[in-house]
Structure 1
Amino acid sequence: MGSSDDNCAEQPLSPPGRLFLHPRWNLIIHCAIGFKNPIDIDAIKSRLKTSLLLSHPRFSSLVVRDSLGVEHWQKATHIDFDRHIIILHNPVSTASQSVDHDTAVNNYLADLSISSGLSTDKPLWELHLLMAHNCCVFRLHHALGDGASLMSLFLADCRRADDQEKFPTLAYGKKRDKKRVNSSSGKGWWVLLIGFLSMVWFNLVFVVELVMRSLWVCDRKTEISGGDGVELWPRKLATARFRLQDMKLVKKAVPNATINDVLFGVISSGLSRYLEHRTPNALPEGLQITGLAMVDLREQLGLQELSDMMKNNSPGLSWGNKFGMILLPIYYHKSNGHDPLVYLNRAKVMIDRRKQSLQAHFSYKTILSTMPYLGAKVTAWLNYKILCNTSFSISNIIGPEEEIIAAGNTVTYLRVNSTSLPHALTMHMVSYAGRVDMQILVAKDIIPDPAFLASCFEEALLDMKEAASRNATMSN
């Protein structure tokens, strides 16, 4: 599930892996796993030693550099679990005061987001056990793989809580895409021609847009803007919680809308609410605020297929980082009693146009081509500039549809965030068992109230749900 050069034990890192190891990035993924029951340390260690995770060569390899400074994977002779598993028995507290479990875990993750990186004298992962909060935190360097591949590998070691003989199931929406393709097959040639010309036009426009963002075009400064060096600023973390059923109800209000359309409509509405609260009457109506989204470019493997391939050490299994970046603009609008579903309509139109372009593939291929010829320093600088010239970043990872069991313990939540970027606002969403949790990581000197921002997103979805229910009642 990534670049094929990540399959053998001693090979150069893929270009995306080298990018994430560069000091300008040094990006680490944090996956927080909440448990229903107290953590059994022995069960965690025992399961980890026999897991598919450690069967993969990346998790038992070191990063070494050759005489030219090019990074390689080198098989470790021994894995000292005591260096990888960090156990914290005491509760996480703030200013000597106890806080609830969610806040304590978020505070811990916020501190990790600006902490020192993972030591390169051991494989690039750690497991932090927060015993008092029934939570474990995987720290995984992004050089090991992206969110989609790492989530698939983790879930291949889990089973459904309602049937421990079965793997969890993931919904990728392939049936919807197939339906759209079939529905277009009966259209006239002129409709197909217009569609083709639109695709060519949007490809040209969006690729040029990405190049300009990496050089000089930037958003106007607002109350959520970051910039060069902001990745070093102290962080806060809050969680916005959504019901997947509410999102499904809202998406029915707009023909052919998707869950991703709803999510981005919620973000657009929520950010407008937040900015209106922070700077009333200060921003012009329709101001563009550009987000940067990460898009998985691979075909998803089923978990049973993944498990079989891992156990058999199949040479066909690829891994690593295979995703592209797309620019997703939103526009500031005051509420003023507007129909909340307007945000969903705008999001759908914008995302549909982006889907017709190859912007994500272009960004991925650019990393592959610039790394060998221009080197890690230039590649890291170009991609860093895109972050500095946009206002926020967002990712969305599909999780299991059912509750799962890991190491004999029922999982209550899955949440993801990463180390800091030049953005003052990064959002990572993961779906799990009918819920969607969005981790909102902010530079606290720029956005001091992430919990209020989270409530803006939650209220935006509820308002859309109410409007969708009202429209459905009127149509009946």
Structure 2
Amino acid sequence: MRNRLAVKMLRPPPISPMTAAATAEEEGEPLSPAARLFRQPQFNCHIVTILGFGKFIGADEMKSGLEATLARHPRFSSVQVTDLSGSDKPRWVPTKVNLDDHVIYPDISDATTAAAADDPVVGDRFVEDYTAGLFHSPLNPSHPLWDLHFLAIRTSEATCVAVFRIHHSLGDGISLMSLFLACTRRTSDYESLPSLPAARRRSAAAVSGFSPWVLLSWIWTFLVYAWNTLVHAFLFVASAFFLKDTRTRIMGSEGVEFRPKRFVHRTLSLDDIKDIKNAMGCTINDVLVGVTSAALSRYLSRSYDGILPKNLRIRTSLLVNIRPTPGINALAEMMRKGSGAKWGNQMGYMLLRFPVMECEDPLDYIRKGMAVVEKKKKSWEAIFTYISSLLIVKALGFKVATVLCHRIVSSTSLSFSNIVGPMEEVGFCGSPLVYIAPSVYGHPQALTIHFQSYLNKMKVVLAVDELVIPDPHMLLDDISHSLQIIKDQVAVTF
């Protein structure tokens, strides 16, 4: 039943061949292969972002803000249309956005609101239940594929909450987060866009003239990249046929993509993560990989009476956008003046193994994570998988490519991502944002871990299939505990 419902939900409204010729061919832009992938029932992915606000936003104020920003974006003001010729090549066709179809203020009983005012944990649970229930309320394919649900209920961190749902075919997570931030303004200056931390650049030694050592260095670097790519490409292809992760209590079963997810989140200290980063001489992402490895080790050890088996294979599938993400300023200009900033899903995959094991020294989780990530940095795996997917689509067809992609993702244990957020407080539609908690559902995995920085906080968000992981708050506790013990060990060691 759910399979049939998913297929029905994903199928865009057909139009007559004559209308298609006049509209889709002249106005519509074809969907990218990645966007078409997210139309398939096995990958009917929706990005869900829970936004905590400092004050209530009225419906008219919310619609006015969206009309001036997001509703002007080409993807958020277009529908996916397929003609009747059977070609199955959908296009983006512009349409008029009726915000009444997208902005939803559900009725919340006075008893629930009063209970949440007395005990914000009631509000937290209500938001969790409401967000999980969105799975059973599919987006209408005759409208642009997004909506925003505003919940006027107090939670433990915010005065009220909004749940932003966007179909993944509209863009990748980082591009969509950049687009959302382009709709916000600093609360200290509502004329200014938010600023993001500068990306870390690898230092390059200054070279004057030609040197044999420089040539040898270039050759050696190329060989390292080529070897790592060869190894990672082999493991990637093997994952489509026989190489699967160890069956543990976090790995999903068949059909997990057709089941609802529960979203839970916790706020961590970004300053603590930075202290570890500076002491270990690594990146924030390295720290998060190490902390997650320690937390998964602690969580899974309970299944083995406190003694983890050796050589557990626990991997994550990472989506990497091949196309550089437009900057916030470029996206703001796109919505304001209709500029031609590049947009769309152009993604490759990477498989990253978490060092899940028992370590006497908590810092070993960071060290081992750094070593794994470093090999991925010195590899063209994402480019290889992106180009390979295009070749497979062209040679074998889109259905074969979808099956192979599904086999690879379902052979891994979880999804993982880390998204950078603003360094200063921002407001959306006139209300200050307290937190940003993004996640996703509709993919063939039972566990997704997202990290999102904002101000001096790091929000960790879990999306879980409760049939597989019935205790997601315990895993949040393990992540918080792992960060604390690593921080304490840093204080002792350095």
TM-score, normalised by the number of residues in structure 2:
0.86
Written as runs of structure 1 = structure 2, the 5 A alignment for 1:45-444 is 45-51=63-69, 53-66=70-83, 67=85, 68-76=87-95, 78-90=96-108, 99-112=121-134, 114-133=135-154, 134-173=160-199, 176-179=200-203, 181-182=204-205, 190-255=216-281, 257-280=282-305, 283-315=308-340, 317-335=341-359, 338-444=360-466
Kept in 1: contact 2:326–2:342 (CA 8 A) = no
For residues 89 and 440 of structure 1, the distance between their equivalents in structure 2, rounded to whole angstroms, comes to 26
Work out the number of aligned pairs and report it: 455
- SS of 1:461's equivalent in the other structure is helix
Kept in 2: contact 1:403–1:433 (CA 8 A) = yes
Residue by residue over 1:336-372, the C-alpha shift from the partner in whole angstroms, topping out at 9 and shown as x without a partner, is xx11110000011110001111111222223333334
What's the offset of the Cα at 1:168? 0.4
The 3 A distance-change label for structure 1 pair 435 and 11 is same
The 3 A distance-change label for structure 1 pair 93 and 322 is farther
Aligned to 1:3: none
- SS of 1:299's equivalent in the other structure is coil
Q: Which sections of structure 1, spanning at least 5 residues, go unmatched?
A: 1-5
Aligned to 1:471: 493
Written as runs of structure 1 = structure 2, the 5 A alignment for 1:24-35 is 24-35=42-53
TM-score, normalised by the number of residues in structure 1:
0.89
What's the offset of the Cα at 1:192? 4.6
For residues 442 and 476 of structure 2, the distance between their equivalents in structure 1, rounded to whole angstroms, comes to 18
What's the offset of the Cα at 1:454? 0.6
Residue by residue over 1:306-335, the C-alpha shift from the partner in whole angstroms, topping out at 9 and shown as x without a partner, is 3234433223x1111133221111233235
For residues 255 and 196 of structure 2, the distance between their equivalents in structure 1, rounded to whole angstroms, comes to 38
Kept in 2: contact 1:417–1:428 (CA 8 A) = yes
> Counterpart of 1:58 in structure 2: which amino acid?
R
Kept in 1: contact 2:42–2:444 (CA 8 A) = no
Identity among equivalent positions (%) equals 36
The 3 A distance-change label for structure 1 pair 117 and 370 is farther
Residue by residue over 1:29-83, the C-alpha shift from the partner in whole angstroms, topping out at 9 and shown as x without a partner, is 11111110122221101111111x121222111111122122111222x322222
What's the offset of the Cα at 1:172? 4.3
Structure with the larger RCO, 1 or 2 (CA within 8 Å, 6+ apart): 1
The 3 A distance-change label for structure 1 pair 196 and 79 is closer
Q: Which sections of structure 2, spanning at least 5 residues, go unmatched?
A: 1-23, 155-159
> Counterpart of 2:63 in structure 1: which amino acid?
K
For residues 437 and 313 of structure 1, the distance between their equivalents in structure 2, rounded to whole angstroms, comes to 33
Aligned to 2:13: none
What's the offset of the Cα at 1:300? 4.0
The 3 A distance-change label for structure 1 pair 93 and 327 is farther
Moved more, 279-288 or 258-267: 279-288
Kept in 2: contact 1:168–1:404 (CA 8 A) = yes
Moved more, 306-315 or 459-468: 306-315
For residues 147 and 268 of structure 1, the distance between their equivalents in structure 2, rounded to whole angstroms, comes to 23
For residues 12 and 295 of structure 1, the distance between their equivalents in structure 2, rounded to whole angstroms, comes to 21
Moved more, 127-136 or 282-291: 282-291
The 3 A distance-change label for structure 1 pair 60 and 188 is closer
The 3 A distance-change label for structure 1 pair 18 and 234 is closer
- SS of 1:149's equivalent in the other structure is helix
For residues 35 and 79 of structure 1, the distance between their equivalents in structure 2, rounded to whole angstroms, comes to 25
